[in-house]
Structure 1
Amino acid sequence: MYVYREASVYDHPQFFEDFLNRRNRDNSPNNVIEGPIVHQLIGNIKDKTILDLGCGDGRFGNELLSRGCTSYRGIDGSENMVRVAKDHVSELGGEIQLASLQTIDLKQRQYDLVVSRLVFHYLQDLKTVFRNVYYSLKDDGKFVFSVQHPLLLSSTKSAEALGKKTAWLVDDYFQSGERIEPWIGKNVVKYHRTIEEYFQLLKQAGFTIHDIREGTPSPDFFEDKQEYERRMRIPLFLLFSCGK
């Protein structure tokens, strides 16, 4: 069984195409649940310098630049993502870089805001990443990120079910570590961590945790009442807002 690690799966042509179609549909959970909460947590970004870790296709970067941030730098480990992201931000003055988030060298006190959306559960060594983010922030800088909720990632058996899920299995919750999840036809390595573990890693890096969200759905973003009720059954996302 072949498995993909970090951003490598996005450089598979068919997966990349299927992912973008799935990610950018109007009713994607990223758009109706996670995205609105991220924007709420980051707040006013006018005149801010922003670093986006795992910038994906650059659509989020385009939003941030359109909202008035002074500078935007996106980093991603996928060549396909970087290519598309440049198209979305270059005309607005954004910068995109191809690099591994595990080894990237960040300058100290450079950013007002570091943001990352649904990336860190792909990375094995978050201790180093969080420490690098802390040093890259200016004094009073903010760090906002989202990950796949640990209740979903504790066991990958639910991910094996076809169609819309009506039940979810939580198992091995306190056994942190590698999981191999079937996702859009490929086997992808992710790393399960408890909420407590994320919290402790942030504290150890020096952060003050200002807010924690579990992606509570808002009916305002759903056209389908049944889909809203289904999404109310289990959290899909975990989000943190932290300060230096």
Structure 2
Amino acid sequence: MSHKGFNAYNQEQFFTNYFKRRERSDSPNNAIEGPMIFEMLGDITGNSILDLGCGDGSFGKDLIQNGATEYIGVEGSEKMVEAAKANLKTLNGKVIMDTMESYPYPDKAYDIVTSRFAIHYVSDINQLFDSIHNSLKDNGKFIFSVQHPLTTSSFLSKQSGEKRENWIVDNYFLDGEREEPWIDHIVVKFHRTIEQYFTALRDNGFTILELREGNPKRQHFSSEEEFKRRQRIPVVLAFACEKSK
């Protein structure tokens, strides 16, 4: 059975095993993507932030503790929403159970919109980017990460196991659904090229300020072996964008 979007996270075993993997010190979330996103955000003091696909709210907790005055997380998984509310219960943060596709985006409401490793679950990024653009204040920022297209083009190399030593890149220019074997389940993601992300952002009124591919830094890894392995292929693609005037 395959799962689309947030549905996989409502499976008890998947939910538990996902956090075991994510909480590893050398996981891509902690050693690559997390430090990079915070670098791209910079000073967030006084900002209102909308976080799409907020997961367990731990990112929101960090944002509030680093100076954000308003945090709204949008999450479709019931189990993730429950975890996020627990993480944010003593802080000035709010979690809404909804999908990023159907969330009713208010006009010019946020200084920053973020999304971490979630937009690759969305089939129509043009509609999403248009909604995000409208919800940002003038000169507002949109900062997000997705699984790198070199790794979503094909999952054939996963037949050798989760900890791959080689990666097959195939059908790169054929965008659309991909079924990834992940944590003993099949999860549907949407593959698109770097160019397609760039074009969709530009066509929906964004100026691209920064494009990052998650170049690993040794200080973020406890294992020299894992650091060297992560230098072989990018696993993260991230953009920092500004709402064009």
Same fold (TM over 0.5): yes
The TM-score by the shorter chain falls in which range? over 0.9
CA displacement, residues 48-88 of structure 1 (integer Å, 9 cap, x when unaligned): 00000000011111100111111000000100000000111
**Unaligned residue ranges in structure 1 (runs of 5+):** none
Aligned to 1:228: 227
CA distance in 1, matches of 2:128, 2:158: 27
Aligned to 1:32: 31
Q: Which 4+ runs in 1 deviate beyond 4 A?
A: none
Aligned to 1:149: 148
Aligned to 1:83: 82
Contact 2:57 2:83 in 1 (8 A): yes
1:173 aligns with 2:172: yes
Give the 5 Å matches for 1:67-146. Answer: 67-146=66-145
Aligned to 2:158: 159
Aligned to 1:218: 217
- CA separation of 1:99/1:168 partners in 2, compared to 1, >3 Å: closer, same or farther? same
Q: Which one-letter code corresponds to 1:26 in the other structure?
A: S
Q: Which one-letter code corresponds to 1:180 in the other structure?
A: E
CA distance in 1, matches of 2:162, 2:109: 45
Q: Name the % identity.
A: 46
CA distance in 2, matches of 1:138, 1:204: 18
CA distance in 1, matches of 2:159, 2:199: 31
Q: Which one-letter code corresponds to 1:121 in the other structure?
A: H
Aligned to 1:20: 19
Task: With the length of structure 1 as denominator, give the TM-score of the two structures.
Answer: 0.98
Task: With the length of structure 2 as denominator, give the TM-score of the two structures.
Answer: 0.98
CA distance in 2, matches of 1:160, 1:139: 47
CA displacement, residues 109-162 of structure 1 (integer Å, 9 cap, x when unaligned): 000000000001111011111000000000010000000000000001122321
* Secondary structure in 2 matching 1:7: helix
Alignment RMSD? 0.8
**Unaligned residue ranges in structure 2 (runs of 5+):** none
Aligned to 2:188: 189
Shift of 1:104: 1.1
CA distance in 1, matches of 2:51, 2:99: 13
Shift of 1:25: 1.9
CA displacement, residues 155-214 of structure 1 (integer Å, 9 cap, x when unaligned): 011223215211110000000010011000111110000000000000111000000000
CA distance in 2, matches of 1:90, 1:74: 13
* Secondary structure in 1 matching 2:26: coil
Shift of 1:102: 1.2
CA distance in 2, matches of 1:49, 1:160: 43
CA distance in 1, matches of 2:237, 2:162: 23
Equivalenced residues, count: 243
- CA separation of 1:167/1:70 partners in 2, compared to 1, >3 Å: closer, same or farther? same
* Secondary structure in 2 matching 1:92: coil
CA distance in 2, matches of 1:163, 1:151: 16
CA distance in 2, matches of 1:159, 1:144: 29
